[in-house]
């Protein structure tokens, strides 16, 4: 018998059922028992005072890199799942570009097991589209789904072959999972280190034009139209991509998309001085792109916020810009970056933020959670929207320290994360 | 000790017009030293300078070495083979090891843009960028400015066109920023596939046809065309490049005025420039090489905290010893 949990006196916002009220959330036996007006506490319940905070269905990150197996020195599933919980995520989807690649049922099963052992945020594996992510032969998708994979992706590598993408979309339909694509036309993006524009021209860095992404965005949308398969476009970074997705959605094509907090908050200017913690792929773009992505998140053209959490070792980032690896950590800053750059200036309200970080990810990836309705899994995020804090990477639960937000004062912080009715993260007032 | 240039010389983009003028003015008295029988002054006696070259270079390295020796510095050349990505010591470890040997300055040439800044941020010694990737080559830009100023007596209002592979050229960037800060009108000319896509935001005029550039310009700075650009598919052939963009006597003869011809070297004769132009009366290519030593002496002297007004006095002092 689990001890009941009562999240008391917070502002409950659950867009899945149009709920926005002050009250209590009661969790019994790992499930939602009640969410709404204040009620009495069950005997022996653990009480979490939530006054001043927002109580929301648990956040779900559909895109992160937990590095295990292969690079346990930079992250493990356990450290990643704890970092996720600390950032308010009750579930994360782990990308398959591990070593070895997560491209078979045994590898998927290993990630499921490590996730259960971690006892923090839930970890859902994403399987590879192609064997060893080589872009050639399709991986055994059916067996991976049976073992627990919730999507397939060759993330980190573009699916260069249009034929492979088409086949993956058709094949994945059988199992009702999305195909997640990292949109990058490889010949245009070759050896690129940042956005192609005046900053790259000045710094003498090889640029990646927006078209490298957009060409693949429209290819995938057209292939989705042809096949009826669900394509989910990872980490969108350009205004042009937004326009193409809008075009696809207007025609009823099964396309969904995500945006990362860094693409909503930073521009290519962050690279000035050859800052390797501003190096990621897709790269930081222009102010115009940032504005278009924010608007697309607000109006739903872009469905979800995802972190693309990508820990790297300190030494790997401490080098010449062109040689440094792509990516930044994001699990512990995502909520605050979105609150600070989107909600505080009035571009997004909390109900929409919660939709994009919880309800929509659950719906698109067919995951449990994403709702506080009675009987649903007891996955709840409590965050204080007005709490200010300064990002100190040395305090991260993640092993990764590679963030462009170090020293930045942000607003909004997860104070309590509940997974399956168990409090896995709680910080005092 | 903070010099008039700050700790490092990483590029021309961060310099002010006054700082550029100071370097050029300081170079003037140093020119004469190289004309003496005993080509040496004691200005940097006791200083230790490492020339850290991660890319092969003869001209720039020798020019720096002469500049250092004529100022009586103790110098060590380190030719680090291979690129930074090859297995071995990282740039930051190399830097820390040099620092631990208590050196005063590092002159670095590296294939990665930003490498000089990376080093400068991690060691206390003065760092001079001798070319970083496709970013900047500030002493080359400064010696080009000095050569132009020698010939025209001014830089303000001068019309200079940079011809060739601007996309991959650190010389082009240093020239553009330097010339613009000194009030010159700058243009670029080359195949669009070898110009940055955002070149329009550099504040330069773009000429598609070299004939139009020649008609407009008072001086051409002709960039070296690397053979790799052809194999990488940026241009169809070196032969066609010469036919469309090559600086030839015939093309120059079409202009109603004489043009000064600069080239940072090493030249590909018969590709970007024809021999009769390179060796002709309007070429100042060897003056550039001579001025290179003087400009580098000026930069070393100023970064070491030398007083500009003492540069004159320094040259009068007795020759240094070793």
pLDDT tens, A405-422? Answer: 999 999 999 999 999 999
Model confidence at B318: pLDDT above 90: no
A418 by DSSP, 3-state: which?
Answer: strand
Q: What's the pLDDT band for B312 if we cut at 50, 70, 90?
A: low
Segments of A234-287 assigned E as strands:
255-259
Nearest CA in chain A to B196: A201
Looking at per-residue pLDDT, the higher value among B128 and B91 belongs to B128
The class (CATH top level) of A5-54+377-426 is mainly beta
Superfamily grouping for domain A60-364 = Metal-dependent hydrolases (3.20.20.140)
Q: Which of A313, A353, A360 has the alpha carbon at shortest distance from A334?
A: A353
- How far B117 CA lies from chain A's nearest CA (Å)? 8
- Mutation site, A188, A199, A202, interface B, largest B CB count within 10 A: A202
Mean confidence (pLDDT) of chain A: 97
- How far B128 CA lies from chain A's nearest CA (Å)? 16
d(CA B23, CA B303): 10
Phi, psi of B225 (to 5 degrees): -100, 115
- Residue B164 maps to a domain: yes
Could you report the per-residue pLDDT of B138-162, keeping only the tens digit for each? Answer: 999 999 999 999 999 999 999 999 9
Domain extent at residue B78: 17-136+291-316
Length of chain A, please?
429
Model confidence at B310: pLDDT above 90: no
Q: Which residues of B touch A196 (CB under 8 A)?
A: 197-198
Mean pLDDT (whole number) for B300-306: 93
**Range in A24-28, A304-308, A335-339, B3-7 the model is least confident about:** B3-7
Q: Which residues of B touch A320 (CB under 8 A)?
A: 84, 91, 110, 112-115, 118
- Residue B12 maps to a domain: no
Q: Is B135 on the interface with A (CB under 8 A)?
A: yes
d(CA A85, CA A426): 9
CB contacts < 8 A (A, B): 70
Q: Tell me whether residues A198 and B110 touch, CB distance under 8 A.
A: no
Here the ipTM equals 0.91
- How far B221 CA lies from chain A's nearest CA (Å)? 19
d(CA A239, CA A260): 14
Give ranges for CATH 2.30.40.10 in chain A. 5-54+377-426
**Range in A289-293, A362-366, B244-248, B313-317 the model is least confident about:** B313-317
CA distance from start to end of chain B: 25
Mean pLDDT (whole number) for A184-189: 95
β-pairing, A304-305 vs A255-259, is parallel
Model confidence at B58: pLDDT above 70: yes
- Residue B5 maps to a domain: no
Nearest CA in chain B to A197: B198
- Residue B9 maps to a domain: no
Model confidence at B287: pLDDT above 60: yes
Give the burial class of B153: count Cβ atoms within 10 A of its Cβ; 0-12 exposed, 13-18 middle, 19 or more buried.
Answer: exposed
Give the burial class of A375: count Cβ atoms within 10 A of its Cβ; 0-12 exposed, 13-18 middle, 19 or more buried.
Answer: exposed
Model confidence at A87: pLDDT above 80: yes
Model confidence at B85: pLDDT above 50: no
CA dihedral B176, B182, B187, B192 (to 10 degrees): 10
Tell me what pLDDT residue B293 has. Answer: 97
Nearest CA in chain B to A205: B113
DSSP secondary structure string, A38-71?
--PPPTTPEEEE-TTSEEEEPEEEEEE---TTT-
Could you report the per-residue pLDDT of A287-300, keeping only the tens digit for each? Answer: 999 999 999 999 99
Tell me what pLDDT residue A23 has. Answer: 98
Task: Give the pair of three-digit tokens for residue A391.
Answer: 């990002």
pTM: predicted TM-score of the whole model, two decimal places: 0.94
- What is residue B318's DSSP assignment? P
Classify the C-alpha dihedral A151-A157-A162-A167 as positive or negative: negative
Tell me what pLDDT residue B233 has. Answer: 87
d(CA A259, CA A304): 7
Q: What's the pLDDT band for B83 if we cut at 50, 70, 90?
A: very low
d(CA A87, CA A121): 10
d(CA A274, CA A263): 18
Q: Tell me whether residues B114 and A197 touch, CB distance under 8 A.
A: no
d(CA B217, CA B186): 9
Could you report the per-residue pLDDT of A53-64, keeping only the tens digit for each? Answer: 999 999 999 999
Tell me what pLDDT residue B1 has. Answer: 54
A415 by DSSP, 3-state: which?
Answer: strand
Q: Which of A418, A410, A414, A407 has the alpha carbon at shortest distance from A428?
A: A414
Q: Tell me whether residues B112 and A200 touch, CB distance under 8 A.
A: no
- Residue B198 maps to a domain: yes
CATH number of the structural domain spanning residue B56: 3.40.50.1370
- The reply to whether B249 and B302 lie within a common domain is no
Mean pLDDT (whole number) for B36-54: 93
Which residue in the block uniquely carries the two structure tokens 């207007």?
A: A250
- How far A240 CA lies from chain B's nearest CA (Å)? 18
Q: Is B99 on the interface with A (CB under 8 A)?
A: no
Mean pLDDT (whole number) for A14-40: 97
β-pairing, A54-57 vs A5-14, is parallel
Mean confidence (pLDDT) of chain B: 92
- The reply to whether B127 and B245 lie within a common domain is no
**Range in A162-171, A362-371, B309-318 the model is least confident about:** B309-318
- The reply to whether B224 and B130 lie within a common domain is no
């Amino acid at each position: 018998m689990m001890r009941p949990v009562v999240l008391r006196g917070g502002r409950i916002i659950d867009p899945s059922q149009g709920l926005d009220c002050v009250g209590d959330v009661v969790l019994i036996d790992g499930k939602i028992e009640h969410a709404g007006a204040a009620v009495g506490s069950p005997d022996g319940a653990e009480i979490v005072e939530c006054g001043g905070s927002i109580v929301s269905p648990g956040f779900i990150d559909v895109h992160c890199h937990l590095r295990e197996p292969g690079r346990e020195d930079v992250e493990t599933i356990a450290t990643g799942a704890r970092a996720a919980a600390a950032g308010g995520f009750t579930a994360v989807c782990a990308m398959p570009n591990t070593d070895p690649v997560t491209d078979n049922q045994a590898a998927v099963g290993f990630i499921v097991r490590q996730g259960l052992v971690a006892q923090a945020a839930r970890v859902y594996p994403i399987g590879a589209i192609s064997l060893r992510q080589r872009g050639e032969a399709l991986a055994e998708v059916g067996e991976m789904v049976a073992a627990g994979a919730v999507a397939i992706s060759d993330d980190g590598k573009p699916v260069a072959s249009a034929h492979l993408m088409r086949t993956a979309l058709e094949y994945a339909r059988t199992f009702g999972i999305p195909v997640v694509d990292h949109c990058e036309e490889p010949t245009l993006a070759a050896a690129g280190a940042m956005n192609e524009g005046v900053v790259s021209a000045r710094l003498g860095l090889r640029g990646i034009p927006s078209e490298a992404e957009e060409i693949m965005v429209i290819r995938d949308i057209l292939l989705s139209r042809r096949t009826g398969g669900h394509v989910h476009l990872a980490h969108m970074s350009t205004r042009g991509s937004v326009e193409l997705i809008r075009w696809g959605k207007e025609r009823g094509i099964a396309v969904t998309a995500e945006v990362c907090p860094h693409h909503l908050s930073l521009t290519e200017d962050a690279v000035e001085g050859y800052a390797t913690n501003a190096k990621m792929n897709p790269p930081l773009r222009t102010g115009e792109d940032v504005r278009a992505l924010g608007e697309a998140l607000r109006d739903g053209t872009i469905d979800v916020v995802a972190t693309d959490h990508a820990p790297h070792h300190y030494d790997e980032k401490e080098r010449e810009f062109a040689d440094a690896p792509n990516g930044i950590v994001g699990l512990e800053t995502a909520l605050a970056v979105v609150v600070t750059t989107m909600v505080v200036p009035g571009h997004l309200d909390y109900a929409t933020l919660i939709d994009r970080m919880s309800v929509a990810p659950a719906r698109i990836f067919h995951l449990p959670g994403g709702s506080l309705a009675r009987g649903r899994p007891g996955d709840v995020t409590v965050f204080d929207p007005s709490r200010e804090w300064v990002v100190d990477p040395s305090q991260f639960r993640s092993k990764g320290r590679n963030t462009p937000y170090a020293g930045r004062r942000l607003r909004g912080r997860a104070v309590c994360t509940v997974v399956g009715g168990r409090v896995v993260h709680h910080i005092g007032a | 000790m903070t010099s008039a240039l700050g700790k490092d010389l990483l590029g021309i983009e961060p310099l002010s017009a006054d700082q550029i003028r100071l370097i050029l003015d300081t170079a003037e008295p140093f020119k004469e030293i190289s004309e003496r029988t005993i080509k040496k002054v004691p200005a940097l006696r006791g200083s230790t300078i490492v020339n850290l070259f991660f890319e092969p270079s003869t001209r720039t390295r020798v020019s720096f070495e002469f500049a250092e020796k004529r100022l009586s510095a103790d110098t060590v050349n380190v030719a680090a083979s291979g690129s930074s990505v090859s297995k071995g010591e990282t740039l930051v470890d190399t830097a820390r090891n040099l620092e631990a040997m208590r050196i005063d300055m590092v002159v670095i040439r590296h294939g990665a843009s930003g490498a000089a800044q990376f080093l400068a941020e991690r060691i206390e010694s003065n760092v001079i960028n001798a070319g970083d990737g496709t970013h900047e080559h500030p002493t080359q830009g400064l010696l080009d400015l000095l050569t132009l100023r020698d010939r025209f007596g001014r830089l303000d209002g001068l019309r200079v066109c940079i011809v060739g592979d601007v996309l991959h050229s650190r010389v082009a960037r240093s020239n553009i920023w330097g010339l613009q800060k000194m009030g010159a009108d700058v243009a670029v000319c080359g195949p669009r596939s070898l110009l940055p896509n955002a070149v329009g935001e550099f504040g330069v005029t773009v000429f598609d046809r070299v004939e139009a550039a020649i008609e407009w310009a008072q001086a051409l700075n002709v960039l070296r065309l690397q053979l790799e650009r052809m194999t990488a598919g940026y241009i169809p052939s070196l032969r066609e490049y010469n036919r469309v963009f090559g600086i030839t006597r015939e093309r120059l003869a079409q202009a109603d005025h004489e043009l000064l011809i600069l080239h940072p070297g090493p030249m590909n004769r018969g590709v970007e420039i024809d021999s009769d132009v390179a060796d002709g009366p309007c070429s100042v290519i060897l003056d550039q090489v001579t001025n290179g030593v003087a400009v580098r002496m000026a930069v070393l002297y100023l970064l070491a905290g030398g007083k500009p007004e003492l540069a004159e006095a320094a040259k009068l002092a007795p020759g240094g010893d070793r």
